[in-house]
Amino acid sequence: MPHRSRTPAEAVEHYRGQTVRLLSCVTTAHTTVGGYHASDLPHRLSLSDGDPARLRGEQLTLDVTEQFRVFEDAGGWRVEIVGYLYALEYEDRELVAYHWHPRGESPITWPHLHVGADIRVGDRWLGKIHLPSGAVGLERIVAVAIAELGAEPLRDDWERLIREAGAQKADPPPVER
């Protein structure tokens, strides 16, 4: 069930706190938000001021940007993620990037993934192709960084925090067809 707050600022701070808690599994980098009020345009949450954060262990970095909106409904104020960019890099080369940007210049508005592969498919590079992914939560990115790519967790309770972050998710973002 999504968290409901008495004020827009309380809702944003709860969202930021939950995100910081999840990211504390792999990084101590600072997380910032760009707004604490309701707005027609989305606000932005960024890890490390928009720069990839180095993870302990393998030569991995993590890039996190989320777009969110703050709104009030019958239960109070809450935050909804309305776009994201999550990327993992190895030795300063992008491995994988998950994007969902329903607003903006790109005609691709559905959740998708880019792979960091130097492979040509006809006249296109595989890394530039928008591969459909469905909605991806940040908790899955943190989990794959640790469990599959060798990032050293900074907390002993990382598995529990990932499970809790997944359970707190509201409805996933809509998939446009």
Q: Which residue has the higher pLDDT, 169 or 152?
A: 152
Domain ranges, ordered by start, for the chain: 8-85+132-167
Residues 6+ apart with CB under 8 A from 175: 110, 111, 134, 135
What is the DSSP-derived secondary structure letter of residue 49? G
User: Using one digit for the tens of pLDDT, what is the confidence trace for 11-29?
Assistant: 999 999 999 999 999 999 9
pLDDT in tens, 58-102: 799 999 999 999 999 998 999 999 999 999 999 989 999 999 999
Cβ density class 100-127: b for 16+ within 10 Å, e for less: bbbeeeeeeebbbbbeeeeeeeeeeeee
Q: Output 29 or 176, whichever has higher pLDDT.
A: 29
Concatenated DSSP letters for 103-161? SSS-S--S-EEEE----EETTEEGGGS-EE-----HHHHHHHHHHTT-BPPSSTTHHHH
The whole-number pLDDT of residue 2 equals 62
Please say if the pLDDT value at position 138 is more than 90. Answer: yes
Give the pLDDT of residue 121: 79
pTM of the model: 0.89
Nearest to residue 99, comparing CAs of 124, 63, 126, 125?
63
